[in-house]
Amino acid sequence: MEQVYVKEGLPASAEAVWQLIRDFHDISAWASSGRILDANGDGVGAVRRVQTPLGLAVERCEMHDEQGCQFSYALLESPWPLKNYVATVKVSPASESQCNIEWSSQYDVPPGMSLKDEVEKMYRHSFIKTLRKTLSAKA
């Protein structure tokens, strides 16, 4: 099993960032290359189908904690060679006008393969980078 953990500071309050990412049915603030085709349900158990550049991904909300500003999702189907993928995203205050975002995951890959670097790059250089651009556009 591989594990990835990324933590970065963002130039906005935790509440402002949480409002951008809290809706399981809206990934537009952080996933510029993915598009939700459809979504069913609300909260824990909700499922979304996401069209990615590599193909279809189906994700299920595993945990959603409004007060703790965090959620987890599992990858049920994907074009990537990942199995048992579960990610958690958490936003926490660093100051009144800054926060930290933590993106972590664990998953299985085929023997002899590692996707750790690619997953970390996806979090840092795609998801969090896109979130920074969204925050800049709203400033």
Say how many C-beta atoms besides its own lie within 10 A of residue 97's C-beta. 10
Q: What does the pLDDT average to over 63-77?
A: 97
Question: How many separate helices (H) and strands (E) can be counted in the chain?
Answer: 3, 7
Rounded Cα–Cα distance for residues 23 and 35 (Å): 14
Average pLDDT of the chain, as a whole number: 95
| Closest to 12 (Cα-Cα) out of 21, 23, 3, 4 | 21
Structural domain containing residue 76: 2-138
- At 33, the pLDDT band (50, 70, 90 cuts) reads confident
Residue-level pLDDT at 94: 95
Domain total for the chain?
A: 1
Residue 112's pLDDT is 95
pLDDT at 32: 87
User: How far apart (Å, rounded) are the C-alpha atoms in residues 2 and 115?
Assistant: 8
Report the pLDDT value the prediction gives residue 73, as an integer from 0 to 100: 98
Q: How many CA atoms lie within 13 Å of 23's alpha carbon, on the beta-carbon side?
A: 12
Domain with 13 in it: what CATH number?
Answer: 3.30.530.20
pTM: 0.93
Q: Decide if pLDDT at 71 tops 80.
A: yes
- Name the percent of the chain lying above pLDDT 90: 94
Is residue 139 scored above 80 in pLDDT?
no
Percent of the chain at pLDDT > 70 equals 99
Q: What is the pLDDT of residue 34?
A: 87
Q: Which amino acid is at 101?
A: I
